[in-house]
Chain A
Amino acid sequence: DGGITQSPKYLFRKEGQNVTLSCEQNLNHDAMYWYRQDPGQGLRLIYYSQIVNDFQKGDIAEGYSVSREKKESFPLTVTSAQKNPTAFYLCASSPGQGRNEKLFFGSGTQLSVL
């Protein structure tokens, strides 16, 4: 079955540590996205990529980095510069321009600080 896989489901970060969240899709979608969700808040866009080897900052990119070396993969690194990283992180994909209103989400990764 096609879908988006995020791993791990739970992740803990120590002070000063970088951590990487994985996101893989086998839907053959061109576009991929990372969102951050805090309790009682909407989804805020961190980074997005419309095509391989290209990505753009979203509304809250500071303290995060991404790469898009393969169509299927869009990993997110939460760097030590992100001072409040505890949140639920959601990866999504969409078919691409002209059809990217229909997002397909993964099951999320809950990141907590030790």
Chain B
Amino acid sequence: GQQLNQSPQSMFIQEGEDVSMNCTSSSIFNTWLWYKQDPGEGPVLLIALYKAGELTSNGRLTAQFGITRKDSFLNISASIPSDVGIYFCAGQLWYGGSQGNLIFGKGTKLSVKP
């Protein structure tokens, strides 16, 4: 089946730093989404992207739908301690007019630099 490659797997942040992560696929998607999961909780939707080339912001978060439709990027500017958690990308295809189920990446874990 389809797989998403999300990188990096983990990273450490210092308050005030900008953070970048990405997700790539061997096949195209119609929709890209980014979710964030806090420890011991369920993921929460951050940003949804519906068109190739689309750039969307949500506060300090900015995500882009790649032109090839096979990748997406998430940037966090001026990170703060509450940004720690696991960030998941997800892709979705439409099949014959119906939405397929989401395919999730393995996540990027953000931690605070010791």
Among A43, A97, A101, A108, the residue within 8 A (CB) of B88 is A43
* Interface residue count on the B side (C-beta < 8 Å): 24
- Asked if B80 CB lies within 8 Å of chain A CBs, one says no
Report if A105-B88 is in contact (Cβ < 8 Å); known contacts: A42-B104, A42-B107.
no
- Asked if A2 CB lies within 8 Å of chain B CBs, one says no
Distance in Å: Cβ of B36 to nearest Cβ of chain A: 11
B105 and A101 contacting across the interface, CB-CB below 8 Å: no
**Given the complex, which residues of A lie within 8 Å of B102, measured CB to CB?**
45, 101, 103
- Asked if B21 CB lies within 8 Å of chain A CBs, one says no
- Asked if A41 CB lies within 8 Å of chain B CBs, one says yes
Distance in Å: Cβ of A69 to nearest Cβ of chain B: 22
Q: Mark A21-59, 1 if CB is under 8 A from B, else 0.
A: 000000000000100000011111100100000000011
Q: Mark A53-71, 1 if CB is under 8 A from B, else 0.
A: 0000011000000000000
**Given the complex, which residues of A lie within 8 Å of B92, measured CB to CB?**
101
A/B pair count, beta carbons within 8 Å: 55
The docked-state distance in angstroms from the alpha carbon of A37 to that of B87 is: 14
Segment from B39-47, B53-61, B62-70, B71-79 that makes contact with A:
B39-47
The docked-state distance in angstroms from the alpha carbon of A96 to that of B88 is: 22
Report if A107-B104 is in contact (Cβ < 8 Å); known contacts: A97-B98, A102-B45.
no
Among A92, A97, A102, the residue within 8 A (CB) of B42 is A92
**Given the complex, which residues of B lie within 8 Å of A45, measured CB to CB?**
101-102
Residues of B that sit less than 8 Å from A by CB: 1, 4, 6, 9, 31, 33, 35, 40-45, 48, 88, 92, 98-99, 101-102, 104-107
